[in-house]
Chain A
Amino acid sequence: MSGVLAILAAPFAALGRRFLGLLAEMGRMFLFFGEALLHIVSVPFSFRRTLDQVEFIGAQSIFVIALTALSTGMVLGLQGYYTLVDYGSEGLLGAVVANTLIREMGPVLTAVMVTARAGSAMAAEIGVMRISEQIDALETMEINPVRFLVTPRLAAALVSFPLLTAIFDVVGICGGYLTGSMLLSMNPYLYFYRVENSINLHDVTGGFVKSVFFAVVVIVVCSFSGYTTHTRQGGFGARGVSDSTTRAVVMSCVLILVFDYVLTSFIR
């Protein structure tokens, strides 16, 4: 009897173990984040390394963010116009594009693009440092690896993400204008009038709050994934680093979407 019960319980036990494993990993990740955050406020602040990271995460992402924003804005302009024109309310195009971008698309797509560009690089770089014992070397020199590697990235992301999001929003709105007004002969004055009219400060702050949260998610998930490369099964060599990178990107993107929903329901 007990044998049958054990067989029946096995899948639940496995599920439970997995869930507990996930919970434990989340816990470790949170502590990792806590440590990185703590070192932002402790002295001496590593200004130079943070600036380097602002350049890498922020400045070098501007082009790809602008490109994504332009195409997103143009598609929104096109789709929005064709949908609205059926109801005779194409005049609202500016409001639709601006609201979608500022509240949702801007923060989310910026975070996803930065994950693809900088997050993956971060996971790979820290992963290689882990497997080639560079992180151990830092520890033997009494240099805190989290402070040395993660804190500057976190600080840089907290600065860069809102700025990149702002750029995304502006370029996206211009993209909407390009299709709506220049291609589909909508009144440009009306477009920008609606943009200005429909946006309030609450929307803009909401978008920025999201982008700050996403900055934390991307940096913590990507750095943690690289940092713990050696603890995973087969986490040695090039394979281990590639697993960490994949994991970092997938997990960041999923968490960005999950957090987006949670934040939207709280902010609105």
Chain B
Amino acid sequence: MERPIIELREIRKDFGNVEVLRGVSLSIFRGEITTVIGKSGGGKSVLLKHIIGLLAPDDGEIFFDGRNISAMSKAEKNAWRRKISYVFQGAALFDSMTVFENIALPLAEKKRMPRRRIREIVSGRMEQLDITAIGEKYPSQISGGMKKRVALARALVTEPEIVLFDEPTTGLDPIRKSAVHAMISDYQKRLGFTGVVVSHEIPDIFFISQRVVMLNEGRVHFEGTPRELEASEDEVIQHFLKGIETPHDALTGLHTPTQLASRYQAEMDQHIRHSTAFSLAVFTIENLEGIPGDEGRVTGQTVVRNFAQELRRHLRPSDTCARFGMDRILAVLPNTGRDEAKNVLEDVLARMDKKRIVEREGARSSCLSVRAGVVQADEDSSIQDILEKAQEAGAGVMVRSVC
């Protein structure tokens, strides 16, 4: 098995009489996004602070790339810490400095670099994150979403190997939340850093994470992929997931993935018992990353929301749909064979009000398209298997441009 880039073994931490961490052991692997979930006040942020060294454990060991940090010299420890960046919950921008100075600070203070070079690097990062226009503003003059982006730019300016995010979407509206998730995912893919995200946004955060760690009662209760977590029948996990679940998807107002999964299961039971046909439709909105401008990702997520609303308007009342990824929507079409489903989709896509979908400025300037695929569910396979099949399936795929 691959060696974890960060490994925590039996970490314990008390604050006064409160035992926050009671022996946490977990591994974080290179190039992945690991999400830490758990109840509020359950020690998730405390865990992150142990990784970056803001807090020291009362007991237990931390390994960086297989080496125990307690055996490292101070210089080695610092060298390691330099590879890690931390994005604070409240952004923690320096309010007496401009956005530009904030981002430049880690370079200006730590790296002996000529000023011109610093300016180049910072400008490059600002351009990547679409915040060039606010360089001279102070943190109090910009919006919450912008602050998150500035904080991310500041964290990424030193080209870290590991980025820790402490509840990056707290206090944002659903569209901006999704936009921040899209941003983390995009940059992770582009820059290849290892991400650790503390988040409450379930299931949205699962769309971008490869691994999930669930803390419960100061210990790791679960460690695995998002799929394994959702499939788990463990009582504590199910209780937690149900407790956090909203009646509707916050971004689109559609059903939640869990609701869709149970609908799918019900249809599958019907299918097995009475061999009624039913189909699954997968809609993927393509080229969302291509939307330019300062608010590109917000525009992208607005398009997803508008598309979902149009879809709900034109699908039949018996159909159930839910968001299953940053840019993907899944629909269960009961009593519908594959050919009929194709006709339904053709019809739905034709009737959609394209202008409404791309109403937001910026969405019109790039060429977006919707890829729709149909899979007839005729075997006892899981929704994820069908989803993969639908992605691969050449047949039944139609692409409609909405630009």
Cβ A141 vs Cβ B54 within 8 A: no
A137 CB contact (under 8 Å) in B53, B82, B88? B88
Give chain A nearest CB distance to B228 CB in angstroms.
Answer: 31
Residues of the B chain whose Cβ atoms lie less than 8 Å from the Cβ of A136 = 49, 54, 86, 88, 92
Does residue B110 face the partner (Cβ distance < 8 Å to A)?
yes
Does residue B352 face the partner (Cβ distance < 8 Å to A)?
no
Does residue B109 face the partner (Cβ distance < 8 Å to A)?
yes
Cβ A139 vs Cβ B54 within 8 A: yes
Give chain A nearest CB distance to B115 CB in angstroms.
Answer: 12
Cβ A140 vs Cβ B90 within 8 A: no
* A130-165 Cβ-contact flags toward B at 8 Å (1 or 0): 001110110111110000100000000000000000
Number of interface residues of B (CB under 8 A): 23
Query: For the complex, what is the distance from the CA of A140 to the CA of B78, rounded to whole Å?
Result: 10
Residues of the A chain whose Cβ atoms lie less than 8 Å from the Cβ of B110 = 141-143
Cβ B109 vs Cβ A148 within 8 A: yes
Give chain A nearest CB distance to B225 CB in angstroms.
Answer: 29
Cβ A132 vs Cβ B86 within 8 A: no
Residues of the A chain whose Cβ atoms lie less than 8 Å from the Cβ of B95 = 128, 132, 134
Give chain B nearest CB distance to A199 CB in angstroms.
Answer: 42
Tally of contacts, chain A with chain B, CB under 8 A: 47
B106 CB contact (under 8 Å) in A125, A133, A134, A141? A141
Question: Interface range on chain A: under 10, 10 to 19, 20 to 34, or 35 or more?
Answer: 10 to 19
Residues of the B chain whose Cβ atoms lie less than 8 Å from the Cβ of A125 = 96
Residues of the B chain whose Cβ atoms lie less than 8 Å from the Cβ of A129 = 94
Query: For the complex, what is the distance from the CA of A143 to the CA of B179, rounded to whole Å?
Result: 31
Which residue of chain B lies nearest to A129 when distances are taken between CB atoms in the complex? B94
Cβ A143 vs Cβ B52 within 8 A: no
Does residue B105 face the partner (Cβ distance < 8 Å to A)?
yes
Interface residues of B in 48-97 (CB under 8 A from A): 49, 52-54, 78, 81-82, 84-86, 88-90, 92-96
Query: For the complex, what is the distance from the CA of A248 to the CA of B170, rounded to whole Å?
Result: 34
Cβ B109 vs Cβ A137 within 8 A: no
Query: For the complex, what is the distance from the CA of A169 to the CA of B309, rounded to whole Å?
Result: 76
B92 CB contact (under 8 Å) in A132, A142, A143, A148? A132
Cβ A141 vs Cβ B90 within 8 A: no
Which residue of chain A lies nearest to B94 when distances are taken between CB atoms in the complex? A134
Cβ B86 vs Cβ A140 within 8 A: yes
Residues of the B chain whose Cβ atoms lie less than 8 Å from the Cβ of A143 = 105-106, 109-110
Query: For the complex, what is the distance from the CA of A129 to the CA of B94, rounded to whole Å?
Result: 8
Cβ B92 vs Cβ A133 within 8 A: yes
Residues of the A chain whose Cβ atoms lie less than 8 Å from the Cβ of B158 = 141
Cβ B105 vs Cβ A140 within 8 A: no
Cβ A141 vs Cβ B92 within 8 A: no
Most buried by B among A137, A139, A148: A137
**With A141-B110, A142-B78 given, can you name 10 additional A-B contacts, CB distance below 8 Å?**
A132-B95, A133-B90, A134-B93, A134-B95, A136-B92, A137-B93, A140-B84, A141-B106, A142-B82, A142-B110
**What are 26 A-B pairs with beta-carbon distances under 8 A?**
A125-B96, A129-B94, A132-B90, A133-B88, A133-B89, A133-B90, A134-B92, A134-B93, A134-B94, A136-B49, A136-B54, A136-B88, A136-B92, A137-B88, A137-B92, A139-B53, A140-B54, A140-B81, A141-B85, A141-B105, A141-B106, A141-B110, A142-B78, A143-B106, A143-B110, A148-B109
By a beta-carbon cutoff of 8 Å, the part of chain B in contact with chain A is: 49, 52-54, 78, 81-82, 84-86, 88-90, 92-96, 105-106, 109-110, 158
